[in-house]
Copies of this chain bind each other. A is one copy, B any other.
Amino acid sequence: MEKFKVEINEIAEFTKALSHPARIEILKVLAEKQMCICGEIVEVLPLSQSTVSQHLKELKNIGLIQGEIEGKKSCYCINWERFQELHDKYDDFFQNLLIQKSNFNTCC
């Protein structure tokens, strides 16, 4: 994956983490409930427990969420700091694109 610049790769990793509806839904649920255990997420999603666990792992890998084992349950929540960091990088990039939008750009 060294074909592209680091900045580009970082954004792509972020958008990739968000590229599945289940993972977006998970973030939404976690934001609403502040935190919840795995089971609550599984209840809401139309996917099996193991599949949800996999999606949780992916979000965890990129750091968007945190998970901590509490007894026999597993408590998840959003890592807001990381969330902001990634969102900001994405946003910077796309704001820069928008700046370059010219007015007389009828294009093609």
- Residues of A participating in the B interface, judged by any CB pair closer than 8 Å: 1, 3-4, 8-9, 11-12, 15-16, 18-22, 24-25, 27-28, 31-32, 34-35, 46-47, 66-68, 70, 75-78, 80, 83-84, 87, 91, 93-94, 96-98, 100-102, 105, 107-108
Residue from B4, B100, B108 in contact with A31 in the complex, judged by beta carbons closer than 8 Å: B100
Nearest-Cβ distance from residue A6 to partner chain B, whole angstroms: 10
The verdict on A107 contacting B35 (CB below 8 Å), with A3-B46, A11-B24, A25-B4 known, is yes
Report how far A103 CA is from B98 CA in the complex, Å: 32
The answer to whether B77 and A108 have CB atoms under 8 Å apart is yes
Contact of A15 among B9, B18, B67, B94 (CB under 8 A): B18
Q: Is the CB of B21 within 8 A of A19?
A: no
**Contact between A31 and B70 (Cβ–Cβ < 8 Å)?**
no
Cβ contact within 8 Å between A108 and B67: yes
Report if A21-B8 is in contact (Cβ < 8 Å); known contacts: A67-B108, A77-B107: yes
Told that A4-B22, A12-B20, A27-B97 touch, could you supply 20 new A-B pairs with CB distance under 8 A? A1-B21, A3-B46, A8-B24, A8-B25, A9-B21, A11-B18, A15-B16, A15-B19, A28-B93, A31-B100, A32-B100, A34-B100, A34-B105, A35-B108, A66-B108, A75-B107, A75-B108, A76-B108, A77-B105, A83-B98
